[in-house]
Structure 1
């Protein structure tokens, strides 16, 4: 029987810690991301952002504490939690010799266990902002922004309840970054809980509903995105980094 605990938070951690060679990569992190929220986690390299995402995906085990997706402990239910979550890394890995729609067909069949019609696959790519004329082009010809859109289409097809993103806008031009932000807001409007690790203060302010600042494995500050302006967010970030 599947263990299920009714929780308001779709993504949740309590006292989550990870040690590497005796050093804290994560240090007793408590985090809650509710359905429809976009939580942007800011921090420098080494702050623990990627480690947090890797534990939530059960790519690496926690040293202490707990993490849940949709009320399921990710360590105890690694396969079931993966059915509820989609992951978009900094570089979406696709097969370069296949087209966008062929890649989507492959990954959706793999992730969902069933085939979608070509028309539905094209609809999903269009929902993710990919021009229909590009759907049959080889991914080797795609820009980073176009590959990210295929990643979003995979998440839409999977109907994921949680979306984990690690520096997804790094290297995107402002127009592509803005388009990606709109896609995340569309997903949030559908009730998806989104956790995005990022270096981009401007994008975090524009996209997020809540912003956390990580330093040395801890979340040292947290604030609602509407409660702070760009200049004040930058000042808060710099203050947290220098503390």
Structure 2
């Protein structure tokens, strides 16, 4: 990667008690790149995101957001990140537009009605759903509101934690289009996921975590789905063999 990374970990070690949850993790995500981080439960994917958000402190090494050490200045690091969790917490009695404008207000942003509509439509939310209460939305529609909220913050980087979990193939495909639109606008995007198909659909680069270690790194354009599945399962079986 020739561009300077907006998201970067340098020999990052995270400990939880006596256990190492990230072990000398090195990864880089420049502007205009989607990096998919694959791995099973407990592999360290969410821990990597939390380190960049400054929610966990590095035992050694660094988690950097636009050059800012997230352990030393978590507020400045988070100010440059848009974060989309697996389950987006929205107010069910407010509409999609109202939720978007409310969360922008909490971040100190004033968003016009037209801008809110445009962001939600760009995220893939149907026009007829914009003014409906979120309580009647599917999970896929809620994720699209979350994506619009993330993009409204005009952050330089985005973290996605299992964003397509529980979505049907159509909803996952629509969500992928929104992620690619954000990438094409120049965001650096790090996505933790179990979804191999979605990883190949949106990622430029793919890393596989096992027991907190980056055990494989691939260019998405160079690997087919069946090959990625074989590589992923090989590492998963290796982890099972060494487990007590």
**Shared fold per TM-score greater than 0.5:** yes
Unaligned runs of 5+ in 1: 1-6
Structure 1 runs (4+) deviating above 4 angstroms are: none
Q: Deviations over 1:63-112 (max 9, x none)?
A: 2211111111112222222221101111011111111111101111112x
CA distance in 2: counterparts of 1:135 and 1:154, whole angstroms: 13
- Alignment partners' CA distance in 1, 2:148 and 2:178: 10
**Match of 1:95?**
91
Counterpart among 210, 219, 223 of residue 228 in structure 1: 223
**2:135 matched residue in structure 1:** 140
Aligned counterparts, 1:49-198, within 5 A:
49-111=45-107, 113-198=108-193
User: Gaps (5+ residues) in structure 2?
Assistant: 239-244
Match of 2:40 in 1: 44
Deviation by residue 1:218-239 (Cα, 9 ceiling, x = unmatched): 1100000011111111111111
For the residues of structure 1 that align with 2:75 and 2:209, how far apart are their CA atoms? 28
- Deviation, 1:40, is 0.5
Q: How many residues align?
A: 236
Q: Which moved more, 1:84-93 or 1:154-163?
A: 154-163
CA RMSD of aligned residues (A): 1.1
Distance (whole Å) between structure 2 residues aligned to residue 95 and residue 26 of structure 1: 34
> Structure 2 length normalisation: TM-score?
0.94
CA distance, structure 1, for counterparts of residue 4 and residue 102 of structure 2:
33
TM-score computed with the length of structure 1 as normaliser: 0.94
State how far apart, in whole Å, the 1-side matches of 2:210 and 2:97 are: 40
Aligned equivalents of 1:133 and 1:228: distance in 2? 39
